[in-house]
Each structure stands twice: as C-alpha cells, then as structure tokens.
Amino acid sequence: MSVHTDRPTSATDPSLADQWTAKLRKAAETAFPPERLLPDAQPSYVASWVYVFGVLTLVSLIWVIVTGCVLAIMGPTWWHVSSVGLFVNSLHLWSVELFFFFMVIHLWGKFFMAAWRGRRRATWVSGVVTFVISVGAAFTGYLSQQNFDSQWIATQAKDGINATGAGAFFNVLNFGQMLMWHIVLLPLVVVVLTGLHVLMVRHRGVVPPFADTPGSSPPSPAAEVAEQP
C-alpha cells in the first residue's frame, strides 16, 4: 500500500480507480448528482394535486415513526394507564390512518399515470412492496395493543395465517413476538424501502405524460428507451 504526504487522488494514485469505496462514490455521484437528488425545478407537467399525496404519505410515515418512538420509550403498557400515553397512542393511530389514506391515493394516482414507464418499473414494484409490508406493520400494531381489539384480531386472524402454514413461525397470539415485529423488523423494512423508493423517484424523475395531444410530437426512434434488465 503506497503512502502519500498529501491526500491522494486518482491522478496521483491510479490504484484508487480500483478501490471499492471510490467506485461506490463515483456510482453514487453519477446516479445522484445534487441537482437530481434535490432539484429546485420540475417539468411543467408536474402540476396536479395528485403529486402531493406522495409527500403526504412520506410525512405521515414520519409522524408514525415519531409517535411510535415515544410509545416505545415509555413502554407498551404506558398508554393504558396514562392520559398522556392515550393521547400519544391516538396520535400514532391517526397518523397510521392518514398514512394509508394518502398512500392508497398515491398508489392509484401513480397507476393511472402508468408511472412505471421509462425504466421506472422498480419504483412501482418497490412502492407496492412497501404498501404490503406496511399492512403487516399496521396489523402487528393492532395485535400489540394489549386490549380487546388485540385479542379479537389475534384470535380471528390466526386461522388465515395458520392456513398458509406461516402460523408455525409467525404466531399472532404471541404478544412478545408481534411487538418485536411491529416496533423493530417491519418498520425497519418500511423505512428502508421508502428510502429506496424516494431515491428511485429522484434518480429517474417524475414520469412524463402520455404523448397523445394534438401538437405534441410522437417519440422519435432515438428516444426509444431500452428495456430495463
């Protein structure tokens, strides 16, 4: 390993070109130049209330996480015995309700925009997977409430889960297991997938409209987009 008196660059040390760290940084810089990662302008077609539901979903998720963290700090029984705890639990509940409300509108809005066009299929798939994992995260939350709703939902849901065989490992009647899934595993997946989803949106940008208006030029052969691998 060579030693430099000054900070090495790829010009002074060709071995940097093969370095994994340098390669990762270069790939990140190529995929996410600052103006793409945090653009200050959008194509003129980005002018509809439907676009707002993406950011509304994102901020609702933030409120879900923040209120969930407060509940986690105080422990699972706190909200049953404290009026402040009940208030925070209610904040958590309504942030979840809004999260799903906004997410469903966002999902159908993107469906009718065919937002997967132009090598954005991974963005669509990641969004649907995030939605499905979120359903699981909310479901385990309902199971972790330690009240009548938890008992009822657990005893009703066990039959469906058991029918798939998953009940052998994912026991909805086991409060401890469901609480861990709810506050650690599933939120982690949702947050990571949401982060990837947002990065994909920033990487490809917002999908353009269908080119079907009088006066709009049909796409030229040069504009054909390669099939995504």
Partner 1 sequence: MSGAKFNPDRDVADWTGPYRPYDLVKEFLIALFVVGLIIVGLTIVFSSPDDRPVTLQSWSQNNPVDFAQTAITELDGSSGVAAYGPPYVPSSAGASQQMGFFAPERWFGVHIPINTAQDYVIGPLRTLPDQPLLTAYLNTYRDASSSQQSTWTAAYEKVVANATFQSDEIRVARGNYGPVAGIIRSLTTMARSGALDGALLRSGQFYDTNYTKPLLFLANGSYLANLGGNQHLQGSQWGMMNETGNYPGQAWLWLYTLWYQVQPMKSSSNGDLEVWVIMMALTLLLALVPFIPGLRSVPRWSRVYRLIWRDHYRTG
Interface with partner 1 in residues 156-215 (CB under 8 A):
156-160, 162-169, 171, 173-177, 179, 205, 207-211, 213-215
Pick between residue 11 and residue 168 the one whose CB is nearest to partner 1: 168
Specify whether the CB–CB gap between 32 and 203 falls below 8 A. Answer: yes
Distance CA 39, CA 200 (A): 14
Residue 97 contacts partner 1 per CB under 8 A: yes
Residue 136 contacts partner 1 per CB under 8 A: no
Using CA of residue 41, residue 47, residue 49, residue 54, what is the dihedral sign? negative
Distance CA 149, CA 39 (A): 45
Specify whether the CB–CB gap between 76 and 146 falls below 8 A. Answer: yes
Residue 42 contacts partner 1 per CB under 8 A: yes
Distance CA 87, CA 1 (A): 59
Distance CA 63, CA 96 (A): 8
Given the rule CB under 8 A, which of 11-19, 27-35, 155-163, 182-190 is the region that contacts partner 1? 155-163
Q: Which of 72, 129, 189, 191 binds partner 1 (CB under 8 A)?
A: 129
Site string for partner 1, 9-28 (x = CB under 8 A): --------------------
CB of 82 to partner 1, least distance (A): 11
Q: Which of 100, 102, 104, 74 is nearest to 89 (CA)?
A: 74
The structure tokens 């849901």 sit at: 157
Residue 35 contacts partner 1 per CB under 8 A: no
CB of 116 to partner 1, least distance (A): 4
Specify whether the CB–CB gap between 57 and 63 falls below 8 A. Answer: no
Q: Which of 146, 196, 199, 203 binds partner 1 (CB under 8 A)?
A: 146
CB of 184 to partner 1, least distance (A): 14
Pick between residue 1 and residue 225 the one whose CB is nearest to partner 1: 225
How many alpha carbons fall within 13 Å on the CB side of residue 128? 10
Residue 124 contacts partner 1 per CB under 8 A: yes
Given the rule CB under 8 A, which of 2-10, 25-33, 112-120, 189-197 is the region that contacts partner 1? 112-120
Of residues 49 through 88, those in contact with partner 1 by CB under 8 A are: 50, 52, 55-56, 58-60, 62-63, 79-80, 86-87
Nearest 10 degrees: CA dihedral of 33, 34, 35, 37?
A: 90
CB of 10 to partner 1, least distance (A): 30
